[in-house]
């Protein structure tokens, strides 16, 4: 059923496009009712407008807190036009039906995100009348069109022009669906803020307000559907806030998982750092004074696994770095035993225009690679309120994010041999890298470069064997990191056989004494970090 739009109520905080939308409505003979600043803006633009107090018979009061909460408004929105008693009530109380509501809500999230926002300011930016009208109109979408975003203006006008001023049932239903999602997200944002103000980390109910960014080609496998959603902006530099540059293939579910893993490790370092990730685990990671050298070292960490991987950098990509990445195979990989090289995604704070041109033109795969620009990494802006969420069938597990890094003041040095400053630097990288590798984890670092990884094994001994094998001769003199303590000295004994020079691990095992003794016997310097980094 089509419903002719005769009367519209317009009240918006975001005035983008509202004047043109209202002009189009007015031009089709629609009576426009409006409030406060919106009414003034429409009137100043020469659009005929009826003030809300002229409809209700009451002035806007209490600093605008009360203006639309009135039977003459909600009666006009909620009346079922085909019910005789509803029609009689409209007539008896002189209530005019409202056919279209155009409302967007007070900018609560933007307000609380501002530095110095007071609790009083936050409360005043909780919209009451707006969500009430949106919900009333959405409930009665059989007769009422509810418009909550400037992105919908064109579609509504187009339909009204095609239907002689009417809106069809399909569009009204779709607008109502979107509107209830908006009010749910709005309430979720308010709840999150109030929980934070009260210091409640795990409240009785949690609503996750996320916004759809894209349908994905498929999920982890072709038989699974998938989509990408983002949380409200927090100010933290992340994959969720990154911009996709033009060109390249559509990004996939697996790409996004991997690029997040890569970029979060790159963010750990203040120095120029490069990371290569394959299947959620870093196969390359290095830091250096120069970002191109850091990339070369990271790529050479495992040239075989780097094929089809994700490249993450914490510095701008200029044309020289872009050319180095594109020529990775011919410059370094062929001699190191690679069969070839291409990247699925390159993520960095920024790409120079010439760098993008080089990536897109130097190699055939450059036309497909996805480029993501995050903007500058501000390590002071970390969203500590964001949960690490894991799904189980029928529920969610929530925990704080693991934001523990390298904490020099907590380190203990239980062995006879102490690490040199150079070894401590490699131990730092081994520790931070181990944090981002699936457990059980062993990482090996030499010369500020990841040279071996053992990831996700059912026992830590096996992870060690894999790391030693991957590192080969580079294991000799390397630093070893373990995400959790050694329950037995076997890993340390094996490390001694491989020529490992120093180890960082949490400590805290009942058999620490045996592990320390094994390290002393092998001449290994061991450090206890006093924290654990399980990553299941």
The whole-number pLDDT of residue 384 equals 87
What span, in angstroms and rounded, lies between the C-alpha atoms of 68 and 110? 23
The structural domains of the chain, ordered by start, are 3-198 (3.40.50.1380), 236-373 (3.40.140.20), 408-528 (3.40.140.20)
pLDDT digits (tens, 9 = 90+) for 63-114: 667 667 788 888 889 989 888 899 888 888 888 999 999 998 988 988 988 8
**Angle at Cα 117 formed by Cα 116 and Cα 123, nearest 5°?**
165
Burial level of 197, CB count in 10 A (0-12/13-18/19+)? exposed
CB–CB of 64/41 below 8 Å?
A: no
- Give the three-class secondary structure for 319: helix
Q: In this structure, what are the phi and psi dihedrals at residue 394, rounded to the nearest 5 degrees? A: 85, 5
Please state, in angstroms and rounded to a whole number, the distance separating the CA atoms of residues 338 and 327: 13
Q: DSSP readout, 43-87?
A: HHTT---EEHHHHHSS--BTTTTBSS-SHHHHHHHH--TT-HHHH
Q: Are 500 and 480 in contact (CB under 8 A)?
A: yes
Instruction: Count CB-CB contacts under 10 A for residue 279.
Output: 16
Q: Tell me what pLDDT residue 251 has.
A: 95
Which residue's structure tokens are 């029609």?
Answer: 87
Cα–Cα distance, 262 to 313 (Å, whole number)? 9
Summarised one tens digit per residue, pLDDT across range 426-436 is 999 999 999 99
Helices (H), 93-168: 108-113, 119-124, 129-139, 153-162
Q: Which pTM value belongs to this model? A: 0.89
Cβ within 8 Å of residue 152, ≥6 positions away? 175, 178
The catalytic residues are 139, 279
Pairing of strands 502-505, 525-528: parallel
Do 148 and 182 meet the contact criterion of CB atoms below 8 Å apart?
yes
* Residue 18 to residue 38: CA distance in whole angstroms: 9
Q: Which residues of the chain fall below pLDDT 70?
A: 61, 63-64, 66-67
Burial 403-441 (b: 16+ CB within 10 A, else e): eeebeeeebeeebebebeeebbbbbbbbbbbbbbbbbbb
CA count, 13 A, side-chain hemisphere, 446 = 19
Q: Is residue 495 classed as helix, strand or coil in its secondary structure?
A: helix
User: Could you please report the per-residue DSSP string of 413-464?
Assistant: --SSS---HHHHHHHHHHHHHHHTSPSS-EEEESSSBEEEEE-S-SSHHHHH
What is the C-alpha separation between 140 and 179, in angstroms, rounded?
Answer: 12
Instruction: Tell me the pLDDT tens digit for each residue of 357-381.
Output: 999 999 999 999 999 999 999 988 8
Pairing between β-strand 3-4 and β-strand 50-51 as defined by DSSP bridges: unpaired
Q: Report the pLDDT value the prediction gives residue 61, as an integer from 0 to 100.
A: 66
R_g of the chain, CA atoms, integer Å = 30
* Residues in CB range of 296: below 8 A, 6 or more apart: 286, 324, 331, 332
> In whole angstroms, what is the distance from residue 5 CA to residue 2 CA?
9
Q: Are 140 and 77 in contact (CB under 8 A)?
A: yes
Element (H, E) at 504: strand 502-505
Encode pLDDT of 457-513 as tens digits.
999 999 999 999 999 999 999 999 999 999 999 999 999 999 999 999 999 999 999
Rounded Cα distance between 187 and 105, Å, is 11
CA separation for the pair 484, 507 (Å, rounded):
8
């Amino acid at each position: 059923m089509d419903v002719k739009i005769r009367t519209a109520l317009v009240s918006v905080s975001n005035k983008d496009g509202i004047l043109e939308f209202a002009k189009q409505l007015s031009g089709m003979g629609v009576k426009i009712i409006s409030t406060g600043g919106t009414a003034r803006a429409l009137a100043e633009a020469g659009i005929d407008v009826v003030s809300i107090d002229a409809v209700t018979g009451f002035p806007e009061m209490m600093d605008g807190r009360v203006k639309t909460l009135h039977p003459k408004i909600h009666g006009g929105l909620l009346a079922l036009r085909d019910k005789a008693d509803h029609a009689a009530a409209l007539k008896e109380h002189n209530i005019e039906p409202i056919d279209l509501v155009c409302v967007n809500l007070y900018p609560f999230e933007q307000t609380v995100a501002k530095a110095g926002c007071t609790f009083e300011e936050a409360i005043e930016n909780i919209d009451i009348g707006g969500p009430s009208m949106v919900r009333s109109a959405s409930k009665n979408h059989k007769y009422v069109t509810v418009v909550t975003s400037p992105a919908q203006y064109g579609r509504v006008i187009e339909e009204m022009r095609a239907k002689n001023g009417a809106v069809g049932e399909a569009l009204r239903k779709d607008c109502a669906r979107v509107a209830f999602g908006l009010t749910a997200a709005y309430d979720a944002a308010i709840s999150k803020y109030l929980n934070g103000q009260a210091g409640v980390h795990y409240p009785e109910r949690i609503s996750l307000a996320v916004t759809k960014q894209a349908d994905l080609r498929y999920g982890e496998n072709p038989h699974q559907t998938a989509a990408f959603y983002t949380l409200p902006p927090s100010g933290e530099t992340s994959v969720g806030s990154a911009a996709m540059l033009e060109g390249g293939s559509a990004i996939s579910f697996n790409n996004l998982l991997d690029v997040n893993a890569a970029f979060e490790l790159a963010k750990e370092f203040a120095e120029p750092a490069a990371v290569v990730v394959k299947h959620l685990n870093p196969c390359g990671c290095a830091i250096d004074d120069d970002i191109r050298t850091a990339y070369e070292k990271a790529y050479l960490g495992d040239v075989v696994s780097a094929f089809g991987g994700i490249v993450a950098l914490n510095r701008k990509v200029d044309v020289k770095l872009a050319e180095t990445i594109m020529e990775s195979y011919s410059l370094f990989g062929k001699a190191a035993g690679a069969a070839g090289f291409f990247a699925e995604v390159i993520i960095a704070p920024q790409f120079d225009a010439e760098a993008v041109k080089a990536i897109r033109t130097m190699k055939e795969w450059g036309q497909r690679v996805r480029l993501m620009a995050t903007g500058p990494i501000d390590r002071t802006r970390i969203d500590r309120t964001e949960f690490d969420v894991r799904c189980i069938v029928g529920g969610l597990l929530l925990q704080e994010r693991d934001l523990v890094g390298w904490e020099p003041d907590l380190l203990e040095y239980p062995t006879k041999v102490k690490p040199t400053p150079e070894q401590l630097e490699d131990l730092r990288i081994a520790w931070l890298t181990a944090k981002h590798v699936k457990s059980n984890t062993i990482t090996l670092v030499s010369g500020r470069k990841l040279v071996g990884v053992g990831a996700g094994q059912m026992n830590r001994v096996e992870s060690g064997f894999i790391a030693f094998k991957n590192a080969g001769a580079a294991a000799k003199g390397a630093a070893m990191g373990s995400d959790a303590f050694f329950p037995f000295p076997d890993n340390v004994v094996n490390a001694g056989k491989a020529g490992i020079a120093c180890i960082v691990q949490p400590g805290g095992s009942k058999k620490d004494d045996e592990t320390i003794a094994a390290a002393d016997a092998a001449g290994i310097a061991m450090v206890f970090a006093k924290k654990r980094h399980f990553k299941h």
